[in-house]
Structure 1
Amino acid sequence: MNKDSKNLSNSASKEDNDDIDLMALLFAILRGWKTIVFFAVLGLVIGILYSRYVNPTFKSDALIQIEQNSQGISALGSDISSLVGSEASKAQTEAELIRSRMILEPVVNLLHLRIRLSDPNIGKLDRIKSNSTDTQINKPESVSLKTEDGKVEVSHFNVSQQYLNRQFTLTRSGTGFVLSNGFDDFKGQIGKMHQFRGTDGQIQIKVNDLPADGYSVNITKQSLQNATNAINSTLDVKERGQQTGIIELSMTGPNQEQVTSLLRQIVISYVNQNQSRGSEETTKTIKFMETQIPTLKKKLEDSEKEFNKFREKSGTIDIGQEAGILLTENSQIDAQLNELKLKKADLTTYYTADHPLVIQINEQLALLSDRKREIDNTIAGLPEVQREFLQLSEDTAINREIYLTLLKNYEQLKIVKAGQIGFARIIDLPISTFNTIAPKKLQIWVLATLLGAMLGTILALIKSLLRNVVKDPERIEAKTGVPVVATIPRSPLLTRLRRNKKAPNRLLAYVDNNSLSYEAIKSLRTNLMFGMPVQGRAGQRAKVILITGESPGVGKSFISSNLTEVFAQLDKKVLIIDADMRLGELHRMFSMSQDNGLADYLSQDTSHLSKVITTQDANSLASFIHPTGIDNIDFMPRGQHPRNPASLLANGSFDYLMTEINLHYDYIIIDSPPILAASDAMILAQHADKVLMVTRYDDSIEGQLVYAVNQMNKANIKVDGIILNDVQQGIMSKYSYHYSYAYGNNN
């Protein structure tokens, strides 16, 4: 074979192994269908119980539009808008603001959301039976909760810091109510405000109504943080789309009216805060102007008074063209300096000295101040009278310009404030739809069933991986080095009969002689006939076959008894010995007693073993071997349970037994104890021509079978073949082809 053909063969072999592994995985899942169905049904039951346990959930929605810029100031002109400035508002920022305590605290206080009422008398089974439970209703007037025995209503409940988040119990009494925290009991009248002094502080409460006497209700005063956290856990605020400026608010809860009312108050609280925040900028600017106008007016009046006095004293002065230009430029610079100072004063109310806008104004002030010093130096060269005229005239003009500008802006801002609104607009207020959004029962049921089925599948696979059972004959041969001489299919008819524990065990020849199982036993007989020597051990007549297994329950007795029956059909004298003196059940197959058997024979006095076997000894042996009523078949039962079965087999008595019975039978079949349970099989194997090991399909552990074969090999005992018993045919067993071509007489 060349190299290419070898590679092709290896590749095909690997692909075939992969297919077998995938098929084995599929069949492992199919074989565990009972586990999968059980967990699927269990998951469905849990899903149904859960869908009834949780309360229905309702939802309310609202929409708010956020304008990008604050309007009003900019509408009055670029001058005033540049003076006051504007603040852009993004929807994402406002969405986070809505969830803040600044917005939620007024809502918490208005609806008394820090008061929590609960009914401790409702258990888990009650919730499942009722499918829904009542929840508290918060209104500006009070907090109420319906119970089986009436309604509880509390309009006021304040506690000191130490009592926050601690549970109290309210119970109606004959004269009013009792408020208890486990340590103190406070008694009061229903409908009246009460103030109690407890161990940890003050308690103020007003109870308007309570259920019948003896029915207790839990009440708790939450901290503000816990109350707002509870709101945020059910509140969803997000921008609809990208850069749309539309904020969508949604809230869920177990009561539709409660959810709608709470979300409505949150929207109103946010809009009120937004309007207050929108006019705050204008208000601050007006207050600043109101403090500056009287000062500027007084400064203008003083400069005009000084200028008039100078003119009266010196008369009119003809100032030259150069002086006029300098005066004009100086006046403009002063106006600019004062305007920049005014802007700087306004900016510093919002920003620090390190802000880029403040730094920019400082740079402009420095440039204008330098130019002003140059002009002042030039004017200093003019005659003294001209310099004084220029100075007084300049001061008067500048003060007048600043005063008139500020007065104009002040009047404009007053108009703006009168009509200013916030940049948030309500589009949709929440409404009650009374449509439940959860639990979605059908989805829960389907999902729970699928999860249960998945769990069952995983467990079936884990079971298949951890419990590597005997299935594949080729794999058994590869692992043990022992050929599989027969695969015995399961007999459905015999299996049904065995379900009745009181019914006696039966041979296949009398129950299901047309089955594949019976034909497989015959095939095993043929295999043994041609695989065994013409004569038995040491030239003796009988051929001895030892049937054992790696563990109990593999079907040794079934194989031994039926193999005996098919050998007897050949007109051969057959003896079957139940050598499992501990738990042997072979006598049940022949409907006989276990008494007077192998254990009884081996327990006799062994003094005669040193003598030649006499006719009398042979006659005494006949009392331990019994006819079965079936032609050519004799049976030696296990006898009474001895204390030391292995010692009895090794003391020499069994050797004399085998020597004598070899003369009278063609085949001797010995049913021995399991190898892993006792060492008897290793002793019995010394007398056998063939040692066969029975293992049960899809039940015996592969590792135990390999270990049992190894134990026999260590004792220098060759296991001649393995019988794969109880093989089940069907699509869930990929190895059923090993017997699917067997057939019987179906006439």
Structure 2
Amino acid sequence: MTTDSKNVSNSPVKEDNDEIDLMALLFAILRGWKTIVFFAVLGLIIGILYSRYVNPTFKSDALIQIDQKSQSISALGSNISDLVSAESSKAQTETELIKSRMVLKPVVDLLHLDIRLSDPAVGKFDRIKSNTTTVQVNIPEGVTLKTSDGQVQISQFNVSKAYLNRSFTLVRSNKSDGFLLSNGFDDFKGQIGQAHVFKGVDGIIEITVNDLPVNDHGINIVKLSLQNATESIKSALSVVEKGQQTGIVELSMTGNSQEQVSLVLKEIILSYIAQNESRGSEETTRTLSFMESQIPILKQKLEASQVVFNRFREKYGTIDIGQEAALLVGEKSQIDSQLNELKLKKADLTTYYTEEHPLVIQINDQLKVLNNRKQEINSKVAGLPEVQREFLQRSEDVEINKEIYLTMLKNYQQLKIVKAGEVGYVRIIDLPINTYRTIAPKKLLIWVLATLLGTMLGTMLVLVKNMLRNVVKDPERLEAKTGVPVIATIPRSPVLTRFSKKKSPNRLLAYADNNSLSYEAIKSLRTNLMFGMPSQGRAGQRAKVILITGESPGVGKSFISSNLTEVFAQLDKKVLIIDADMRLGELHKVFNMDQHNGLADYLTQDTTHLSRDKTQLVKIDAVQESGHLATFIHSTGIDNIDFMPRGEHPRNPASLLANGSFDHLMTELNLHYDYIIIDSPPILAASDAMILAQHADKVLMVTRYDDSIEGQLVYAVNQMNKANIQVDGIILNDVQQGIMSKYSYHYSYAYGNNQ
């Protein structure tokens, strides 16, 4: 209704409450249970499909022990211990060695792990449908893959560097014993069961095909580079030390075939053991090789010196060497023996170190001292008689060569014994075995996690939607935001909801659902309006005018208008309902009437010509005095209710309402009706409601629960306030009752027969 600016309701109370309403969030989540359940079920479906899509994963494990290298050979003599140095290794270092290419490459070559076969005929849907797919089997004899049309078996596939990691296609040719190898650029033909060497554009291809599927079933084959092949193994291999400083190393490997991972892991362990033993006996082997090369030379020198000495004795007979000469000879013999041992050690050391190494320098210093002493003895011996000197020289040669030869032969035999009993410092505790227990996918865990993720996503969407689209729910919040009281909450009518789904004609609650909470709420609204309006209408007129509008289309204002009209008519009051929405009004459908000859026709009429034959129109006794006005007022067939439809759609509805014709119409109608209810267009869609409100005793704003936007409603009320029009009340329509709404206490309760 029109008011002065002083009478306009106070501005809405602004809340500065920054606290999060946890209860509101909880109920917002509960109200969005359908969305949450949808995403939870969607997550569960995705989890089930994923668990069927991925192949089962198996695991195989083994244990090895890493000890310090045994030094039991020290019992054979300290000189052997000097020749073979001790070596130790830590478990952490060995774990890295196990994953090195030095250990993995022999396994790759043995089991052909650098050859990859795949079946392009197996798609994603097939993997989901079958729940598992066959995988290739690598054995020393070759690589095998089973398909629906037979198996493929490759025993050899080597390519040049340019062809590495490139896919080839293998297909059986029309002939049963032929095949075709193609990479998109080159095509090579060969015979199954024969080794072939093809020369392509980018290099050589060696291949031996033992079997192929029939029915032109193609197979993809790839030769991986050593880097990619070992990286693939390392990604599935785990090597960790159990505990700290225990020396126990656990090896585990995962894959899609239990037999395959057990075989690969076993070969990795054997390869590591072989490398370990080879590395442990390398020093002994090098020393033996050096001795084997020196023993024949020393033997020849000994034999040659013995021949010369025997000839000398035969020529001169036995010579008695004096005590001094004997001492000199003995000392010189010892020096020569020491020199030979030092030279042997030096030869052994120089196989590993350079001349600048401290040990080599130390031996050189010792050799220098002994050589100096030897020169001194030679000087003294030079003073002996010539025959004795020659005898001494020949006997020295024999003794020295004999000592060197025997020492070398003794050490050689001892080292052979050492090598025969030498073992590595790695001991196998447990070899891998086949358990056939899948470790992945954990289907139940995947289903639970997928369901939880779907639930979380659904909850997030509900909360985001609730934050971005702040819909109308709380009457107290509306009153605080708009400053307008909520005078009625109209519950949803389940019966009318079913009718609307079946696209049945709209019906009044009195005839469709007269025992519902919705109908009782309309009656409560009528009571509120009866006691809230003056005994007479505006300017002392008989009629009381109620304008019903909304902030946007689809809020249910026509539903409220028509049912409010019906409950007022029950009071034996003459009621007129006007469809003032001349653009999209549909009140005529509620009363099963025609839209023609209504408000728009009245406002655009030519008083001398009527658009339709008056004989077809129902004359209303109460407006007979008004002459042609009876043409636009129609009886609904319901006692005490008349109806003015919207009429033909005009070009400028707002202008028609403002040109004075509507004022004249309301003046006439006020004389003949007790209540006039006007159903106007939405405020945010047109300005018609502001013009119509000038004639209303009550202006009511209809909004839809959990659908209308709160901000739009507040803006619509503010627009009315700016036009000096007071909105007298808000009707919250289509409220849904349930435990998921904390505002369900706003419901009215039916009293009477609910059957």
| TM-score category of the 2 structures, normalised to the smaller one | 0.7 to 0.9
Q: CA deviation at 1:139?
A: 1.9
Question: Counterpart of 2:108?
Answer: 108
- In 1, the alpha carbon distance for the partners of 2:74 and 2:725 equals 107
Q: TM-score, normalised by structure 2?
A: 0.81
Equivalent-residue separation in structure 2 for 1:467 and 1:235 (angstroms):
52
**Deviation of the 1:576 alpha carbon:** 1.2
Question: After the TM superposition, which residues 338-377 of structure 1 pair with which residues of structure 2 at under 5 Å, given as runs?
Answer: none
Which residue is 2:669 aligned to? Answer: 661
Deviation at 1:126, TM superposition (A): 2.1
Structure 2 Cα separation of the partners of residues 23 and 344 of structure 1: 89
Match of residue 488 from structure 2: 486
Q: Secondary structure at the match of 1:153?
A: strand
- Code of the residue aligned with 2:428 in structure 1: it is I
Structure 2 residue aligned with 1:543: 544
| Cα contact 1:317–1:386 (8 A) shared by 2 | no
Taking the TM superposition and a 5 Å limit, the aligned residue runs for 1:67-82 are 67-73=67-73, 80-81=80-81
| Partner of residue 253, structure 1 | 255
What is the match of residue 745 of structure 1?
Answer: 752
The separation in 1 between residues aligned to 2:466 and 2:557, in whole angstroms, is 25
1:678 aligns with 2:679: no
**How big is the shift at 1:593?**
2.2
CA RMSD, Structure 1 to Structure 2 (Å): 4.2
Contact 2:170–2:179 at 8 Å: present in 1 too? no
Structure-2 separation of matches of 1:701 and 1:642: 30
Q: Whole-Å Cα distance in 2 between the matches of residues 282 and 567 of structure 1? A: 117
Q: What residue identity is the alignment partner of 2:736?
A: Q
CA distance in 2, matches of 1:388, 1:525: 153
Q: Kindly state the Cα deviation for residue 108 of structure 1 after the two structures are TM-superposed.
A: 1.3
- AA paired with 2:100? S
Tell me whether 432-441 or 467-476 shows the greater mean CA deviation: 432-441
Specify the alignment match of 2:212 in structure 1.
Answer: 210
Q: Secondary structure at the match of 1:437?
A: strand
Question: CA offsets, 1:298-354, max 9 Å, x none?
Answer: 99999xx9xxxxxx9996569xxxxxxxx99xx99x98x999998888677667899
Q: What is the identity, as a one-letter code, of the residue corresponding to 2:548?
A: I
Question: Which residue of 2 is the match for residue 238 of structure 1?
Answer: 240
Using CA pairs below 8 Å that are at least 6 residues apart, which structure has the higher relative contact order? 2
| 2:538 is equivalent to residue 531 of structure 1 | no
1:127 equivalenced with 2:135 (yes/no): no
The one of 395, 416, 423 equivalent to 2:425 is 423
Q: Structure 1 residues 412 and 314, CA, compared in 2 at 3 Å: closer, same or farther?
A: closer
Give the number of aligned pairs.
702
State the alpha-carbon separation in 1 of the partners of residues 56 and 699 from structure 2.
Answer: 70
CA contact (8 A) 2:168 2:181 kept: no
The CA deviation string for residues 556-588 of structure 1, in whole angstroms up to 9 with x for no partner, is: 111112222222233332211111112212222
User: Structure 1 residues 160, 621: CA separation in 2 closer, same or farther (over 3 Å shift)?
Assistant: same
- 1:464, distance to aligned residue in structure 2 (A): 1.7
- Distance (whole Å) between structure 1 residues aligned to residue 269 and residue 302 of structure 2: 50
CA contact (8 A) 1:171 1:217 kept: no
AA partner of residue 191 (structure 1) = G
Deviation at 1:22, TM superposition (A): 1.6
Corresponding residue for residue 564 of structure 1: 565
The residue correspondences of 1:369-518 to structure 2 (distance < 5 A) are 411-502=413-504, 504-518=505-519
* Partner secondary structure for residue 725 of structure 1: strand
Q: Note if contact 1:555-1:696 (Cα within 8 Å) is conserved in structure 2.
A: yes
Separation of aligned partners in 2, 1:422 and 1:345: 26
Q: Report the Cα offset of residue 621 of structure 1.
A: 1.1
> Is it true that 1:188 corresponds to 2:190 in the alignment?
yes
Residue 25, structure 1, aligned to residue 25, structure 2: yes
Matched, 1:711 2:719: yes
Q: Tell me the distance in 2 between the aligned counterparts of 1:342 and 1:537.
A: 133
Q: Which residue of 1 aligns with 2:643?
A: 635
CA displacement 1:531-559 (0-9 Å, x = unmatched): 33343333333222111111111111111
Q: One-letter code of the match for 2:485? A: P
Q: Distance in 2 between matches of 1:79 and 1:677?
A: 110
Match of 2:55 in 1: 55
Query: CA–CA distance in 2 between the matches of 1:558 and 1:230?
Result: 70
Q: 1:607 to 1:408 in 2, by over 3 A?
A: farther
SS at match of 1:208: strand
C-alpha separation between the residues in 2 aligned to 1:87 and 1:679?
Answer: 99
Amino acid at match of 2:668: E
Q: Deviations over 1:152-171 (max 9, x none)?
A: 22222222221113323333
Query: Which segment drifts farther, 147-156 or 435-444?
Result: 435-444
Deviations 1:377-407 (A, max 9, x none): 9x99xxx969999xx9xx9999999999887
Q: Note closer, same or farther for the CA distance 1:250–1:352 as it changes in structure 2 (3 Å cut).
A: farther
Contact 2:705–2:733 (8 Å) recurs in 1 = yes
The question of whether the paired residues in 2 share the 8 Å contact of 1:522 and 1:563 is answered with yes
Corresponding position of 2:149? 149
**Secondary structure, aligned partner of 2:121:** coil
Q: Distance in 2 between matches of 1:578 and 1:552?
A: 14
What letter matches 1:744 in structure 2?
Y
- CA, structure 1 residues 493+404, in 2 after alignment: closer, same or farther (shift >3 Å)? same
Whether the 8 Å CA contact 1:120–1:216 is kept in 2: the answer is yes
Task: Answer whether contact 2:355 2:361 (CA < 8 A) is retained.
Answer: no
1:520 aligns with 2:521: yes
The corresponding residue for 1:38 is: 38
**2-structure distance, mates of 1:434, 1:675:** 72
* Residue identity in the other structure for 1:726: D
Cα distance change of structure 1 residues 316 and 120 upon mapping to structure 2, 3 Å threshold = same
Task: Tell me, in whole angstroms, the C-alpha distance in 2 between the residues paired with 1:76 and 1:482.
Answer: 110
* Map of 2:158 onto structure 1: 158
Residue aligned with 1:643, SS: coil
Are 2:66 and 2:247, in contact at CA under 8 Å, matched by a contact in 1? yes
Instruction: Report deviation, 1:207.
Output: 1.6
Counterparts of 1:469 and 1:342, CA distance in 2: 98
C-alpha change, 1:285 and 1:606, in structure 2 (3 Å) is: farther
Would you say the 8 A contact 1:606–1:653 is kept in 2? no
Query: What letter matches 1:187 in structure 2?
Result: K
Contact 1:159 1:221 in 2 (8 A): yes
Question: Are 1:729 and 2:752 matched, yes or no?
Answer: no
1:612 aligned partner: none
Asked if the contact 1:73/1:413 (under 8 Å) is kept, the reply is no
Q: Offset of 1:71 from its aligned partner?
A: 4.3
Change over 3 Å in CA distance of 1:369–1:658 after alignment to 2: farther
Q: Encode CA deviations 1:667-699: one digit per residue, 9 max, x unaligned.
A: 211111111222221221222222111111111
Between the aligned partners of 1:142 and 1:446, the Cα distance in structure 2 is: 41
Question: Deviation string for 1:215-238 (max 9, x for gaps)?
Answer: 222222221112212222222222
CA distance in 2, matches of 1:414, 1:232: 38
CA contact (8 A) 1:545 1:691 kept: yes
Distance in 2, Cα, partners of 1:25 & 1:405: 95
| 1:685-740 C-alpha deviation (Å, 9 max, x unpaired) | 22222211111111111121122222222333222221111111111001112236
The separation in 2 between residues aligned to 1:474 and 1:33, in whole angstroms, is 24
Q: Which residue of 2 aligns with 1:5?
A: none
Q: 1:183 to 1:465 in 2, by over 3 A?
A: same
Secondary structure (helix, strand or coil) at the match of 2:48 reads helix
CA distance in 1: counterparts of 2:588 and 2:71, whole angstroms: 106
Deviations 1:457-504 (A, max 9, x none): 2222222222211111122122222222222222233333333212x3
Residue 98 (structure 2) aligns with: 98
Which residue is 2:389 aligned to?
Answer: none
Q: Quote the Cα distance in structure 1 between the aligned partners of 2:666 and 2:172.
A: 91
Inter-partner Cα distance in structure 2 for 1:349 and 1:679: 106
- Deviation by residue 1:190-232 (Cα, 9 ceiling, x = unmatched): 2222222222222222222222242222222221112212222
Offset of residue 440 of structure 1:
2.8
Within 5 Å, give how 1:590-669 maps onto structure 2. 590-605=591-606, 618-669=626-677
